[in-house]
Amino acid sequence: MSIIYKNELIKVEIEKSEIPWLKIFTNKEIKEFSQCDSETKLEIFRCLDVIEKQMLKYFDVKKINIASFGNYMPHVHFHIMARFEEDSYFPEPMWGKIQREANLNLPSFEDFFEIIKNKL
């Protein structure tokens, strides 16, 4: 796990994958989003907005997926994934059944992560 951004409320981590995939976690151990204070909720939404807009701008995406479920990890977190018709799982979720071998030719993830660091 690689943290690319952190402040007093949240942290943003890279999920290693064939697709651009970031996760936003609350720093405090909070089980449900509704239990977050207003400041934390606003910070999560600010980061989601920045990440989604930059994914759309940097990658030629088919769709952005945003997911929040913590059945295995009951800690508030959001997944933000850039999806492509040629990725291994599309149109299934990244946790679904593999559909094909990926055929992706994407710009540098490292450069994208640097952009996110600077925007957040």
Q: What is the CATH number of the domain that holds 42?
A: 3.30.428.10
Average pLDDT per block of 10 residues along the chain, 120 residues long: 94 97 96 96 98 97 92 86 97 94 95 97
Question: By residue range, what is the domain housing residue 9?
Answer: 2-119
Q: Give the residue carrying structure tokens 């290693």.
A: 16
CA end-to-end distance (rounded Å), the chain: 19
- Give the separation between CA 5 and CA 115, rounded to whole angstroms: 11
Confidence (pLDDT) at 10 = 98
Number of domains in the chain: 1
